[in-house]
Chains A and B, each alone.
Chain A
Amino acid sequence: MEHLIPIGLNHYLTISAFLLGFGLFAVMTRKNAIVVLMGVELILNAANINFLAFSKYNGGMGGVMFSLFVIVIAAAEAAIALAIVINIFKIFKSVDVSSIDTMKE
């Protein structure tokens, strides 16, 4: 087990960065609104990992409390976002974000 590098802060941050990257990728490229929302969740969770990692290596409970807060808000956000998506579907008969562009110009 000695050749294995002990897991440190950088690992957490790396995973968090990957998660953020995937999340952004999903938000930017996916056409389905649901998938876009899933990307948003990934971004939020990337932030959560950062909070927890810094909390662990820094001591104190501030980061834990903050990530709990983020989870709660993410839940609320998901609920509202899904409601919006349902409404959009009702109007446009589609959840393709690229085709919903009536706000242009």
Chain B
Amino acid sequence: MHSLIQLSIVVLLLPLLSFVILIFFNRRLPRRGDFIGVGILGTAFAISAYIFWSVIVQTYDPAFRIAWDFTWIDLGNVPGVGPLKIKMGVVIDNLTAIMLAMVTLISLLVHLYSTGYMAGDKNYGRYFAFLGIFTFSMLGIVLSDNLFSIYIFWELVGLSSYLLIGFFFEKQSAADAQKKAFLANRVGDIGMWLGILILYSQFHTFSFEQIYANLAAGKFTLSNAWLTAAGILLFMGCVGKSAQFPLHIWLPDAMEGPTPVSALIHAATMVAAGVYFVARIFVVLTPDALHVIAFIGAFTAFMAATIAITQNDIKRVLAYSTVSQLGYMVLGLGVGAYSAALFHLVTHAFFKACLFLGSGAIIHAMHHEQDMRWMGGLRKHMPWTFATFTLATLALAGLPLTSGFMSKDAILAGAIGFAQVEGGGVYYLIPVLGFFSAMLTAFYMGRQIWLVFFGESRTHLKPVDNHHSDHHAHGAADEQHGVHEVHEVSWNMRAPLVILAVLSVFIVYSPNPLDGAEGWFMKMIKTPATVVGPANHNSSGALIQASSAPLMAEAQPAAGAHSATDSPAESAGEHASVKGGEHTFADPRQAEIAHASHGAHFTAIYISSIMVVLGISMAFVVYVFKIIDPEKTAQAIRPLYLFSLNKWYWDEIYQATFIKGSIVISKILSWFDTNVVDGIVNGVALVVKKFAFANNSFDKYVVDGLVNFTAFSVNTTGAVLRKLQTGKVQTYVVMLLLAVFGYFVFYFTRLIY
């Protein structure tokens, strides 16, 4: 076993240890054992950082991959299934190393932050235990080398998400939100499991490597439609977990959980697991499946962005922003911009975690006030939070010099390239929606920054007849003391903000602020060659050979040459040479898209910069210079405003269709149950009862009759014979004589005749 594998297993098990210690012993430990959670995560992060260092910095090889597995369950030859052997294993490649470091770092920061944010909570110890099991499951997903174990950990993160959303389970809304999240995820997971089973039924293995090798060798015996179906079903897992369009409804409600949890699970790591999973199975996705994925991603990005512009709850804006950004990542994967999507996953994780932790700091300082309408003017009181929040906001909006700019731009470039290759028309909808969402993102984040940090405090404007009667007391107190009570949070909440904000700057990822492709990230994470697709059917051994080794897009010298180019003109020359044969994609479609995306790089930069500037200036126009009054605008386009404010009425639509529908179905089933099933049961009972009554009569009259008759006849006979027994000796003598006499009569009668 490779030493890195051993270390990664240690990293995986450390948070589990934290969970076990804290869940059982937190009440016996000083400070409810929070130092154990933080300490263990610190150790895990240190080891992960070492793994990251060895894999990314020292090895610096795009094809780096080590794996180890063992047979977990061997069921032998199961009838009707074939050989059933379930393996567990660990794989470490560049993506795993990056994700390991990212997950443990954010988890560590959230642990640290929570020591401040959750201080004084009555379930303080249990909170850290839950964070531990979440981190364990998330690391399990990252390290898994097969579909089966990824599914197990997938369900485990679902469970920990459920536990943490409902952490304040005394609140009805939190309990409802956790149920909603669990059920929505369940819908996706069923699809994912069916997809896993389709692949398993063909290859009798869960291992990624073996499935890909088998697919590349053309061993998939069903039609291509089945492969597309398998891809879309697997993607359903991502739809549930990453809150994509039909199942996105749970994520905004999940904000009922503690804010650090929202940062860790519902912004940075768990929701990104869906994207990570699609990236892992990227090579089995057929072009048709990728089209579905791209459209769902684009639609989600656009829809969530339009919702975010009207929300008033600070966390809900960020939640819809998360949905929107996840839509970007899914879009990126769908259009084949694999490395860009994963790049965005990582950059988004850092700046969105920073935004959530920042909003947590604001909520903490505002005494659990979450409505942005009653905030304002916090810039002076919370300078640290303001600075980090603004930096992360710029990254989210995608302003140049930030990490978000590079990753979002790479995705949009991929989308343009994709649309060009696919032949325009409806496919241009994807980049258009992407750019439009980028503008909306800039707008709603500008709005949020302004409402929260600038202007005068509006705490006193809060209506008194608020239905949160328990918060009313807080509001009144704030009014008396004024906003001066709001103060900067303590160091353990500030440090994570600063670290995350620093990680939102471009220089961490790439030396060129305009091109993420020059950075280490996109050089280490290269788009793997597909093992399916149209070319697969008529191809020969060359493709198999090419696919079995993960293909790296560009050779090292070419990348070096690229980084030297600064002007667009030189880049254009570079593109020509790319077409000349540097790309080693065996699949012509993939190669074409990669090439076209490369060509669209600067177009994307121009359009997205314009969009971002447009969005931010709109926010300025509306909220800073107050040229357009938001209230009046909302009135003027009231239907649209309400449409957005009510989240496109998805909850209502689902209420009217699926929930009502399932209630109707349950009522029908209930009717069936009461009338048919119960009828059958009652009928059987009635028959049995009748039979029992008949049996009873038989018993009573026939059997008992016989017994009683026997008793009666014995009784009667006895009564008659009793008379013979007089007790007088002489009577007996007479009887004796009579008997003897009788005998003689009998004897002599026989003698005579």
Q: Which of B723-738 contact A (CB under 8 A)?
A: 725-730, 733-734, 737
Measured CB to CB, the nearest residue on chain B to A30 is B730
- In the bound complex, what is the Cα–Cα distance between A99 and B76 (angstroms)? 98
Contact B727 A103 (CB under 8 A): yes
Mark interface residues in A6-41 (1 if CB within 8 Å of B CB, else 0).
000000000000000000100111000000100000
**Is there contact, CB below 8 Å, between B722 and A105?**
yes
Rounded to whole Å, the gap between the CB of A63 and the closest CB of chain B is: 22
Task: Say how far B617's CB is from chain A's closest CB, in angstroms.
Answer: 127
Instruction: Tell me, in angstroms, the Cα distance from A66 to B513 when the chains sit together.
Output: 148
The answer for the CA separation of A103 and B727 in the assembled complex, in Å, is 5
* B734 contacts A101, C-beta separation under 8 Å: no
Shortest Cβ gap from B738 to chain A (Å): 11
The answer to whether B730 and A102 have CB atoms under 8 Å apart is no
**Distance, CA A104 to CA B724, complexed state (A):** 9
A97 within 8 A of B: yes
**B733 CB → nearest A CB, Å:** 5
Given known A-B contacts A24-B737, A27-B733, A98 and B722 have beta carbons under 8 A apart: no
Using A24-B737, A28-B733 as known contacts, say yes or no to A98 and B728 having CB atoms under 8 A apart.
yes
Cβ A104 vs Cβ B728 within 8 A = yes
Q: How far is the CB of A97 from chain B (nearest CB, A)?
A: 5
Q: Which of B722, B730, B737 contacts A97 (CB 8 A)?
A: B730
Q: Tell whether, in the assembled complex, residue A28 and residue B734 are in contact, meaning their CB atoms are under 8 Å apart.
A: yes
CA–CA, A68 and B730, complex, Å: 28
User: B729–A97 contact, CB under 8 A?
Assistant: yes
Shortest C-beta distance, B720 to chain A (Å), equals 12
Cross-chain contact A98 with B725 (CB below 8 angstroms): no
Residues of chain A lying within 8 A (CB to CB) of residue B729: 36, 97, 100
Chain A hits for B733, CB < 8 A: 24, 27-28
Q: How far is the CB of A100 from chain B (nearest CB, A)?
A: 8
Pair count A-B, CB < 8 A: 32
In residues 73-103 of chain A, which contact B (Cβ within 8 Å)? 97-98, 100-103
CB-defined contacts of B728 to chain A, threshold 8 Å: 97-98, 100-101, 104
State A102–B737 Cα separation when bound (angstroms): 23
In the complex formed, the residue of A with least CB distance to B729 is: A97
Asked if A28 and B730 make an inter-chain contact with CB atoms under 8 angstroms apart, the answer reads yes
Contact across chains for A104 and B730 when beta carbons are under 8 A apart: no
By a CB distance below 8 angstroms, the chain A residues around B726 are 101, 104
In the complex, are the beta carbons of A98 and B730 less than 8 A apart?
yes
Range of interface residues on chain A? 10 to 19
CB neighbours (8 Å) of A98 from chain B are: 728, 730
Indicate if the CB atoms of B727 and A105 lie closer than 8 Å. yes
CA distance A105 to B725 in the complex (A): 6
Cβ-neighbour of A27 out of B722, B725, B727, B730 (below 8 A): B730
List B contacts of A27 (CB < 8 A).
Answer: 730, 733
Distance of A50 Cα from B38 Cα, bound (Å): 128
A102: chain B residues within 8 A (beta carbon): 727
**Which chain A residue has the least Cβ–Cβ distance from B737?**
A24
Nearest CB on A from B51, distance (A): 108
- Select which of A24, A36, A97, A104 is within 8 A of B725 by beta carbon: A104
Contact at A101–B727, with CB atoms within 8 Å?
A: yes
On chain B, the residues within 8 Å of A105 by CB distance are 722, 725, 727
- Nearest CB of A to B441, in Å: 115
A101–B725 Cα distance when bound, in Å, is 10
CA gap between A101 and B730 in the complex, in Å: 11
CB distance from A96 to the nearest CB of B (A): 10
Residue of A nearest to B727 (CB): A104
List of B residues within 8 angstroms of A97 by Cβ? 728-730
CA separation between A103 and B722, bound complex, in Å?
11
Which residues of A are found within 8 Å of B727, using beta-carbon distances?
100-105
- Residues of chain B within 8 A (CB-CB) of A24 are 733, 737
Residue of B nearest to A40 (CB): B733
Nearest to A27 among chain B residues (CB) is: B733
CA–CA, A51 to B180, complex, Å? Answer: 119
**Bound CA–CA A101/B728 (angstroms):** 5
Q: How far is the CB of B742 from the nearest CB of chain A, in Å?
A: 16
Q: For the complex, give the distance between the alpha carbons of A101 and B733 in Å.
A: 14
Nearest-neighbour CB distance to chain B for A31, whole angstroms, equals 9
Residues of A within 8 A of B722 (CB): 105
Residues of B within 8 A of A104 (CB): 725-728
Nearest B-chain residue to A104, judged by Cβ:
B727
Complex-state Cα separation, A37 to B722, whole angstroms: 27
Report the separation of the CA atoms of residues A36 and B730 in the bound assembly, to the nearest whole angstrom.
9
Taking the closest CB of chain A, its distance from the CB of B714, in whole angstroms, is 16
Q: Within the complex, what minimum Cβ distance (angstroms) separates A103 from chain B?
A: 4
CA A98 to CA B727, docked complex, whole Å: 9
For residue A101, which residues in chain B have a CB less than 8 angstroms away from its CB? 726-728
25 A-B contacts, Cβ less than 8 Å apart?
Answer: A24-B733, A24-B737, A27-B730, A28-B730, A28-B733, A28-B734, A28-B737, A36-B730, A97-B728, A97-B729, A97-B730, A98-B728, A98-B730, A100-B727, A100-B728, A101-B726, A101-B727, A101-B728, A103-B727, A104-B725, A104-B726, A104-B727, A104-B728, A105-B725, A105-B727
**What are the 10 tightest A-B residue pairs by CB atom distance, in nearest-first order?**
A104-B727, A101-B727, A103-B727, A104-B726, A101-B728, A97-B729, A28-B730, A105-B722, A27-B733, A28-B733
Known: A28-B734, A104-B725, A104-B726. 10 other contacts (CB 8 A): A24-B737, A27-B730, A36-B730, A97-B729, A97-B730, A100-B729, A103-B727, A105-B722, A105-B725, A105-B727
Which residues of B line the A interface, CB within 8 A?
722, 725-730, 733-734, 737
Point out residues on A near B: beta carbons under 8 Å. 24, 27-29, 36, 97-98, 100-105
